[in-house]
């Protein structure tokens, strides 16, 4: 099942990086949780369900121009998948180009993402998924 989970996240990430801002709903359970509360992001918080996740992305994506997302790594963690995503974008208000790496844990049940948790470091994501280096 874990290879299947990695493919679920890989496929969803490819579509999103290519600019598909709609089909993610097919991948996420309706009551999924999007949790960025462990980050320093201005949008840090816990977002509930499709409406909450959409609100997060409208807010986050709305601050950037020329945003490029690259999946650097997907790590099998059984019922979870750890993602390492590199992104670069220019702030709409500031014009400053920013580059960062995000570390996330996707929890998957019955072929759908039920929770996403974002962290500042790889070690935090590995620990959250029950793995450690």
Q: Which domain holds residue 79?
A: 2-120
Q: Per the domain annotation, does 46 fall within a domain?
A: yes
DSSP state, 132?
-
Q: Give the number of domains in the chain.
A: 1
Which pLDDT belongs to residue 133? 63
CATH number for the domain including 43?
3.10.450.50
Q: How far is CA 22 from CA 43, 78, 129, in A?
A: 20, 27, 27
| Ranges assigned E (strand) in the chain | 28-35, 46-48, 64-77, 80-91, 97-109, 112-119
Q: Per the domain annotation, does 19 fall within a domain?
A: yes
Which pLDDT belongs to residue 1? 47
Q: What pLDDT tens digit does each residue of the chain (133 aa) get?
A: 479 999 999 999 999 888 888 888 999 999 999 999 999 988 899 999 999 999 998 998 889 999 898 999 999 999 999 999 999 999 999 999 999 999 999 999 999 999 999 999 999 999 999 997 6
Q: Per the domain annotation, does 125 fall within a domain?
A: no
| pTM confidence score | 0.92
């Amino acid at each position: 099942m874990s290879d299947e989970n990695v493919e679920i996240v890989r496929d969803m990430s490819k579509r999103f990086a290519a600019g598909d801002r709609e089909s993610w709903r097919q991948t996420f359970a309706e009551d999924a949780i999007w949790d960025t509360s462990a980050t320093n992001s201005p949008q840090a918080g816990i977002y509930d369900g499709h409406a909450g996740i959409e609100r997060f992305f409208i807010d986050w994506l709305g601050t950037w121009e020329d945003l490029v997302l690259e999946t650097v790594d997907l790590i099998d963690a059984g019922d979870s998948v750890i993602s390492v995503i590199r992104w670069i974008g220019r702030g709409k208000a500031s014009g400053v180009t920013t580059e960062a790496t995000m570390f996330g844990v996707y929890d998957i049940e019955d072929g759908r993402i039920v929770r996403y948790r974002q962290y500042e470091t790889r070690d935090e994501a590995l620990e959250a998924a029950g793995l450690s280096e």
